[in-house]
Amino acid sequence: MDSLNILMENYQAFEETQIKDRFFKHADLLKILDKLKANSAFNLREAGRSTNGLSINLITWGKGPKRVFLWSQMHGDEATATMSIADLLNFLSEPGQFQQIHDLLIEKCTFYILPMVNPDGAEVFNRRNAMDIDINRDFHRQQSPEGRILSHLRDEIKPHFGFNLHDQSTLWSAGNIGNPATISLLAPAYDEELSINSTREQAMRVIVIMNSAIQKTIPGKVGRFDDEYEPRAFGDNFQAAGTSTILIEAGGFYNDPEKQYIRRIYFKAILSGLISIADESYLKAITKDYFSIPENKKLHFHLLLRNCKLERNGIPYKLDIGLCKEENVTKDARSIKYTYMVTELGDLSAYFGYEEINCEFFNLTQTKKIKIDEPADLIVHDGTNILLTIENGVLTSINIE
């Protein structure tokens, strides 16, 4: 795994520069896939069409006996994994000084990669498909063409391993010590009892390897995703069908709204998992270590104002204010406008903020009265210097260490 760390130091050699934020579209992805056509190691085929008729493409690579199926962005606004896959494809195309990793993977594995399962959702940066169906709740009914494609491919490929690639809310924390869950991992359950058979156990073992690889880069910022059986989800059903399925969720990291740092960690998570499948190092992993990954807890705010001094009816009181950035997609679906919403008030001493201000020795002016679930409109200052201004939900100035 040391070579993987060196590889990460040379990441710019693989990073797909055509993608710079989360808002790339189907046409952008096609340009990236086009580059692979000149490389005979890749096989590309259209697996089917989305509700609005956009192609969903399967990339096959490798000549080994271990079949690994990776699919991304079945939720259209969860783009991180597709970015990491673009980088992975570049790595597989031209591994440079990391030929050994490339050779191991190509000899031992065959990868089936289905990026952007929900191109219609990506087009408008929306979770759901063009029928307003959440594809990941459509396993049984299969009303969405996207869900049918995914399901048929699993039946056809019969993969040993599956990588189910998503993004989660940036408000999740890894355990309760103040770190965001930058990456969360899960071996989804295949029944209500959350039983563990050998299929699920293999997934847990691979996750143990992935966790230890990314802990080196983001110590303490890996969480275990909520372990609850969802009978309508693909991961849970693929696990039941005998594909050892690994869920990866991209969460948040400091000052990385477009997830350009996280995409690298996500790439490392995927690649470490793939290497461990290829060299079978996962077989030595202990499932107990899977359960020691701290569970996700929702303890984060985007901005936390601690110890604010307020007054009501002449009575002074102390209040923590938790604010979350609401994301509103712009008309062209190429960017986001943020609105800071007041989401919790009171004693938030057990909670954390990506940004925090201790307002104990400052004044808080409420331009509009602070109300839960409404946009914030306030100024934090010391009489002369302004630390923070939020105007009708829009952050207009921040001046903290």
Does 75 bind Zn ion (CB under 5 A)? Our answer is yes
Cβ neighbours, 10 Å, residue 381: 17
Total residues at interface with Zn ion (CB under 5 A)? 3
At closest approach, how far in Å is the CB of 75 from Zn ion?
4
Does 236 bind Zn ion (CB under 5 A)? Our answer is no
Q: Which range of residues in 72-80, 235-243, 301-309, 319-327 is near Zn ion by CB under 5 A?
A: 72-80
Measured from the CB atom, is 67 or 154 closer to Zn ion? Answer: 154
Q: Name the residue with tokens 């195309």.
A: 93
At closest approach, how far in Å is the CB of 160 from Zn ion?
23
Q: Name the residue with tokens 């391993």.
A: 161
Cβ within 8 Å of residue 149, ≥6 positions away? 47, 48, 56, 114, 117
Binding mask 29-68 for Zn ion (x = CB under 5 A): ----------------------------------------
Measured from the CB atom, is 78 or 87 closer to Zn ion? Answer: 78
Q: Which range of residues in 73-81, 112-120, 253-261, 283-291 is near Zn ion by CB under 5 A?
A: 73-81
Cβ neighbours, 10 Å, residue 298: 12
Instruction: Report the residue from 26, 108, 154, 166 that binds Zn ion according to the rule CB under 5 A.
Output: 166
At closest approach, how far in Å is the CB of 50 from Zn ion?
16
Instruction: Report the residue from 16, 78, 87, 120 that binds Zn ion according to the rule CB under 5 A.
Output: 78
Q: Which range of residues in 88-96, 158-166, 198-206, 367-375 is near Zn ion by CB under 5 A?
A: 158-166
At closest approach, how far in Å is the CB of 138 from Zn ion?
13
At closest approach, how far in Å is the CB of 147 from Zn ion?
13
Q: Name the residue with tokens 């709740």.
A: 137
Measured from the CB atom, is 75 or 221 closer to Zn ion? Answer: 75
Provide the pairing of β-strand 315-329 with 161-167: unpaired
Q: Which range of residues in 92-100, 139-147, 165-173, 360-368 is near Zn ion by CB under 5 A?
A: 165-173
Task: Using CB under 5 A, list all residues that contact Zn ion.
Answer: 75, 78, 166
